[in-house]
Amino acid sequence: MSDIRAGEIAVALPDTFDAGVYFIGHIRTPWKTRGECPRNARGSDAVCTIELEERYAAALEGVETCTHLVVLYFMHEARRDLVVQVSRHSGRRGTFALRSPVRPNPIAISVVRLVRVEGKKLSVVGLDCLDGTPLLDIKPYFASVDSVPEAVVGWSKGGGE
Amino acid sequence: MSDIRAGEIAVALPDTFDAGVYFIGHIRTPWKTRGECPRNARGSDAVCTIELEERYAAALEGVETCTHLVVLYFMHEARRDLVVQVSRHSGRRGTFALRSPVRPNPIAISVVRLVRVEGKKLSVVGLDCLDGTPLLDIKPYFASVDSVPEAVVGWSKGGGE
């Protein structure tokens, strides 16, 4: 593992995993390096493509009726052992107060706007991940349970990510 | 595997997993069976408890400044091979148009209101899962990227989950 910054805390992770996940497809974005990725999901209007594996194609039935989706993906390049992280942008924070890819289970969620469905490919706006990122899940976004406009992250002054 | 309903489609899953996840804690709720669980997360005002494993306790630093969190958990009792599902409530739908626990990667997300943090325990409102459900992740909810009040799930008439 690479070095950690002053103030960061790494822990020993368990020796074995408790469950497994399948990569069910991949995400195509314009960004080939972390440095190129937008700072957050509202930072780009780029249309990205979700390419589902053929075996799961039938699971898209009805997805075209959704204006927005929740996309879950696996940040497979991230280290998993930091519980406290330090960054210029966010200061010193516990991992669960951050949306950093560095976390025990590097599963990201992004709320995206669905542009179109063509076969097993979805075109969406609102992703900020690396090209080739493995896909874990797609869910319909229900405003009734998923939208909380008044939510506040106190440590983040402007309310931005 | 148990039988499937008329109209449902099961697929052969890959022989091996692509990545592993750690259960980082457990969720305590009043519901011991699927039948007792509320229909969705806004269906109950019950205060539930998230109990984090000791090794990750430091990762909660700063979480107390959040009004709302995204909780990711693993629905470890769900089958994973259905791509089309049939239910009395939702009709016949593709898995990715549903929030059903039955999906290739049975990872649920719930947006919860944080009531309090005490050591490695969080009290929250907005969960609808079984008592003892394994926890995967906790994230701050940023209204700026996570809240889309105008989102519509077309197949779901009233907009409810």
pLDDT tens digits, residue range B60-89?
Answer: 999 999 999 999 999 988 999 999 999 888
- In terms of DSSP bridges, do strands A107-118 and A121-125 run parallel, antiparallel, or are they unpaired? antiparallel
Q: How far is CA B134 from CA A18, A41, A95, B97, in A?
A: 9, 28, 18, 24
Query: Least CA distance to A77: which residue of chain B?
Result: B19
User: How close does chain B come to A31, measured CA to CA in Å?
Assistant: 19
Chain centroid, CA A57 distance in Å: 21
- Which residues in chain A touch residue B22, judged by CB atoms under 8 angstroms apart? 13-14, 17-18, 80, 104-105
Report the pLDDT averaged over residues B18-41: 90
**Is the ipTM reported for this complex over the cut 0.90?**
yes
Runs of H (alpha helix) within chain B:
143-146
Would you call B104 an interface residue with chain A, using a CB distance cutoff of 8 Å?
yes
The reported pLDDT for the residue numbered A83 is 97
Q: Is the Cβ of A93 closer than 8 Å to some Cβ of chain B?
A: yes
Decide if B83 and A146 are in contact by the 8 Å CB cutoff: no
Do B105 and A72 count as a contact with CB atoms less than 8 A apart?
yes
pLDDT per residue as tens digits for the range B132-157: 999 999 999 999 999 999 999 999 97
